Amino acid sequence: MQTDNHASRILLGISGGIAAYKAPLLVRNLRTRGADVVPVLTQNASRFVTETALQAVADNRPRTELWDAEAEAAMGHIELARWADAVVIAPATANLIARLANGIADDLLTTLYLATTAPVFIAPAMNVKMWEHAATQRNIQRLRDDGVTVLGPAHGEQACGEFGPGRMIEPQEIAEAVTAAIGTPRVLDGTRVLITAGPTREFLDPVRFISNRSSGRQGFALAEAARNAGAEVTLVAGPVHLSTPTGIERIDVVSAREMKDAVTERAPDADIFVSVAAVADYRPHTVHDQKLKKSQQQSGDFRVALKENEDIVGSIAGVEPRPFVVGFAAETENPLEYAREKRRRKCMDAIVVNDVSDAAIGFDSSDNAVTLIHAGGEVGLPKMPKGAIARRLVDEIATLYASAGRG
């Protein structure tokens, strides 16, 4: 298990319904948001999802038995119940809900439920008639009265062919609701944060463009962490395949010039600007209206004249009044040296550097490892999921912002 103090620790209970097949996706969603997850399966859950799949995505051994001597020796169930910052049960079947509501502790998951003092979230999943049954509704009400947060269920077509309430809400919605609800200190309460994320595309003709491997994940994770810390977040996103975290205003752009326009328009209203986007430094000098034909190109080598794009973060940081400005630097050699120089040259309050020569971090990977450099010092954050990096950076940025007399 991770030892990072800031990662939230989640016990993910999985009971035996068809929606259990989505549990690995939920683990991934929680981990992306920086959580350390230990899956706990009921006996029936193992019929729908394998321990192997869960172990692979959670990077923690799933727990199934109260009487597993080896697992208990490593961490006893009471210790596990204390370890958790939150218990999430998804899917929660009608049977499990009934056992929880009545305090029956006849397996590991129900015992952990009684033994924990952490907040508990359940995502019910069952047939519509079972959900609407008076007994289930009574049990749900009892759990609500006991302080359990009930997420969903969603309306829609069910695995059994019926239609109505009973489907488990999507893993991403569960992860968002849980991470937003648990213990993020509201260090950015009342601030407005503008963030850029993802790559830009610089078109040569209608089908060809210059771009890079940025997935947007680090920027989106930062937007979510800032929102959880109480900020009002605007996210200017290049072309990425990520859905918008709830409660965040998103502006989609394609080219560096579109990104610059979107940022320039919104920067005067922002307290903090974080430039995570991998903005293309150059664009083709000429953009052709029609797809270039091979015959139109010179034989042999084909040369494209490029024009420099304006530096977005530099243009914001160089003009007063301005928000508190944090840039990123993707370096492949001497990362600290180049980043220190970049921070000074672009007049940024702080810069976050990642060594992108390491394929396991940075561009298009789930983890990152960074150093935050500011006028008063440097903070290194070792390799961890981008969600955890984002939470740590939000803490650091909030402290710098406050000590700059801005907060």
Which residues here bind ligand PMT, judged by CB under 6 A? 198, 214-219, 256, 275-279, 281, 309, 311-313, 327-330, 342, 354, 356, 362-364
> Which amino acid does the sequence have at 180?
A
Which residue do the tokens 């068809």 mark? Answer: 18
Bridge partner list, 41: 14
| Nearest distance in Å: CB 214, ligand PMT | 4
Nearer to ligand PMT, 96 or 317 (CB): 317
The sign of the torsion formed by the CA atoms of 289, 290, 291, 295 equals negative
Shortest approach of ligand PMT to residue 210 CB, angstroms?
Answer: 12
Q: Which residues contact 255 (CB under 8 A, 6 or more apart)?
A: 200, 201, 202, 203, 280, 283
The contacts of residue 125 (CB under 8 Å, 6+ apart) are 17, 18, 19, 90, 91, 92, 93, 152, 153, 166, 167, 168
State how far the Cα of 130 lies from the Cα of 92, in Å rounded to an integer.
12
The DSSP element (H or E) to which 128 belongs, if any, is: helix 128-132
Cβ closest to ligand PMT, residue 23 vs residue 278: 278
Q: Specify the residue, 15 or 255, whose C-beta has the smaller distance to ligand PMT.
A: 255
Q: Is the distance from CB of 123 to CB of 90 less than 8 angstroms?
A: yes
* Smaller CB separation from ligand PMT, 151 or 313: 313
How far separated are the first and last CA of the chain, in Å rounded? Answer: 35
The catalytically annotated residue of 56, 114, 135, 160 is 160
Shortest gap between Cβ of 240 and ligand PMT (angstroms)?
7
To ligand PMT, the closest distance from the beta carbon of 182 in angstroms equals: 24
Does the annotation count 347 as an active-site position?
no
Active site residues: 160
